[in-house]
A and B are shown apart, each in its own frame.
Chain A
Amino acid sequence: MASATQSLRRTLEGLPGVDAVGVEARAAGLGTRSIKTTSKQWAIDLAISMVDLTTLEGADTPGKVRALSSKALRPDPTDSTCPPVAAVCVYPDMVSTVREVVGDRLHVAAVATAFPSGRAALDVKLADTQDAVEAGADEVDMVIDRGAFLRGDYTRVHDEIVAVKEACGDAHLKVILETGELQTYDNVRRASWLAMDAGADFIKTSTGKIQPAATLPVTLVMLEAVRDYRIATGRQVGVKPAGGIRTSKDAIKYLVTINETCGDDWLSPDWFRFGASSLLNDLLLQRQKMITGHYSGPDYVTLD
């Protein structure tokens, strides 16, 4: 047991450090690419199909969740060529409500394991996960125990992910690193590696409840991690930035970053997602602008 702990620590702490200035400059550089006309149209449609349409409010009602689910199926009711989003992301108690609306046509993601703080006993977290899966969730978004991670108790975090992965059964597991609380890019790289090693199908930046949420440099570090992990082990893991991505321009910067970091293997809703709510409206407004040739306005998308 002790040797497994040591070997995990050796692996994580042996990862090369992240050049913080370099990664920020690289992200800023990728953010300046100009994507126009048909490429932009393609990028907007791809970004829409990558959205995990999310509502994680204490005030969520079944009515609101049903409305959001309908929007997920048909984001722009005036235009049948608009693709559906990838998934709807809700709290576990709302999963069955989403399933009633979307059936098998979309994925349903549930946040579990004492989201967003992750501060609960392991059996509570596992019960939370099982609840979500039984209610029909085929994707589970878990949070890691940041307290344990920061104090260096990597084994605890690792074993927790393994246990939750087992509780998920066939459901995909997304592991939220909450990068806003991890302090350094080195920690982001370690946490990514740790999560992938423990069996995560996706690594996700943030809960959206902590500032800063997803940023381009952090996502770049995670994309490099999944790329290197596939080279090392042959297993491909997805990435999901969440929180703080509000405009089409931001979304397109992320798509450019994927393409330049991992190549187009990751340019698909199976391997990359945006956790967002207001982003979808901006994507729709931009889409309408591209099609009609004039600027659209917030009167032409739903309030949610």
Chain B
Amino acid sequence: MSRVEVRKTHKLYIGGAFPRSESGRTYEAVDAKGRFLANMAKASRKDGRDAVLAARKAFGGWSTRTPYNRGQILYRIAEVMEGRRDQLTTQLREAEGLSPKRTEAVVDAAVDRVVWYAGWADKYAQVLGNANPVSGPFFNLSSPEPTGVVAIVAPQGGGAGPRAADGQGPLLGLVSTVLPAITTGNTVVVVASEAHPIPAVTLAEIMATSDLPSGVVNLLTGSSAEIAPWLATHSDVNGLDLTGVDDPELARTLESDGAENLKRVRRPSDEDWLREPTLSRLEQWVETKTVWHPIGV
């Protein structure tokens, strides 16, 4: 007797749970040749709102963990990714239609990127912070503090953008935008690649089983053009990463919407994610707190 195929329902990742879209909508994810792969949940603005609520709720706990502990948890994500590399490789290859060798290189780079940021978790403060010399009997210390809730439009991959063919967007681009934000203690709402969201959902499952507290990362699949404006105008979002917005007109609107409550905005960029990263993304999502402390008291 032939076995009945067990088909997977891909869902959103909000507050540590995997709900369907509040709207009940779905859309089809297709492979590189346009063939049907799976039905994805199509997030609505209300899913975005719920995700921001979950991220805000998680912020207090995550941002006050010791940097060392955050690093340990991020490293755990890399460990679990390593354990599921076959799944990630298969999904990425189906989505982007790359050669096996090329796909493996991208998955390797994604795992290594997580390890790279995990290592920085208890070190970035030494580099981005400072003991400032002042002309008085004070210690003057600048230290980087997390910005808050960061909304990210992850790199799209697939048919869009000049780097469409390199297959980096759906996984490597995603970890390269999400990890720097959570390393410094922010919590995020990320809109995954619209065309190739399946590796992102797998990454969400990895995060759900890596001791990452619920709500630190919330992942939405669906149309970024539909959800991003609600995140850009949301008064409880403190940072906006537009890296994956391919439409310059939309990016401009989102940036000016974000100005309403003085969000920190990172403009769209077209990066080669395989290159060694810099501290720029870590620095993007921190605020500098400066304290004066009297000497000799």
Contact = CB atoms under 8 A, between A and B. Distances in A.
A and B: bona fide binding partners: yes
Contact of A296 (B56, B230, B236): B236
Interface in A258-304: 293-300
Given A299-B235, A299-B236, A300-B235, A294 B56 contact: no
A98 B106 CA distance: 65
Interface in B235-290: 235-237, 260
A298 B56 contact: yes
Q: Which 3 pairs between the two chains have the least Cβ-Cβ distance?
A: A297-B236, A294-B233, A295-B234
The residue among A293, A296, A297, A299 with the most chain B CB atoms within 10 A of its own CB is A297
B241 to A, nearest CB: 18
B10 interface: no
Nearest to A297: B236
By secondary structure, the A interface counts as loop
B50 to A, nearest CB: 11
14 contacts: A294-B230, A294-B233, A294-B234, A295-B52, A295-B230, A295-B233, A295-B235, A295-B236, A296-B236, A297-B56, A297-B234, A297-B235, A298-B56, A299-B236
Contacts of B49: 295
A135 B1 CA distance: 82
Interface in A66-97: none
Max chain A C-beta neighbours (<10 A), residue from B49, B234, B235: B235
Contacts of A296: 235-236
Contacts of A293: 233
A293 B235 CA distance: 11
Contacts of A294: 230, 233-235, 260
Interface of A: 293-300
A297 B261 CA distance: 11
Interface in B26-79: 49, 52, 56
A293 B234 CA distance: 10
Contacts of A297: 52, 56, 234-237
A247 to B, nearest CB: 11
Contacts of B235: 294-297, 299-300
Nearest to A288: B235
Contacts of B237: 297
Contacts of B260: 294
Interface in B220-237: 230, 233-237
A298 B236 contact: yes
A300 B235 CA distance: 8
A293 B49 CA distance: 13
Nearest to A294: B233
A239 B54 CA distance: 34
Contacts of B233: 293-295
A294 B230 CA distance: 7
A299 B148 CA distance: 12
Output the residue of A293, A295, A296 with the most chain B CB within 10 A: A295
A295 B235 CA distance: 6
Interface in B147-162: none
Name the residue among B49, B56, B236, B260 with the largest chain A CB count within 10 angstroms. Answer: B236
A295 B227 CA distance: 12
Nearest to B231: A295
Nearest to B229: A294
Given A296-B235, A297-B56, A299-B236, 13 more contacts: A293-B233, A294-B230, A294-B233, A294-B235, A294-B260, A295-B49, A295-B52, A295-B230, A295-B235, A295-B236, A297-B235, A298-B56, A299-B235
A195 B42 CA distance: 51
Interface string B77-106: 000000000000000000000000000000
Contacts of A295: 49, 52, 230, 233-236
Contacts of B56: 297-298
A297 B262 CA distance: 14
A6 B9 CA distance: 63
A298 B52 CA distance: 11
A125 to B, nearest CB: 41
B215 to A, nearest CB: 15
Nearest to B45: A295
B231 to A, nearest CB: 9
B228 to A, nearest CB: 13
A280 B28 CA distance: 41
A63 B234 CA distance: 32
Interface centre among A293, A294, A298, A299 (most CB of B within 10 A): A294
A293 B236 CA distance: 14
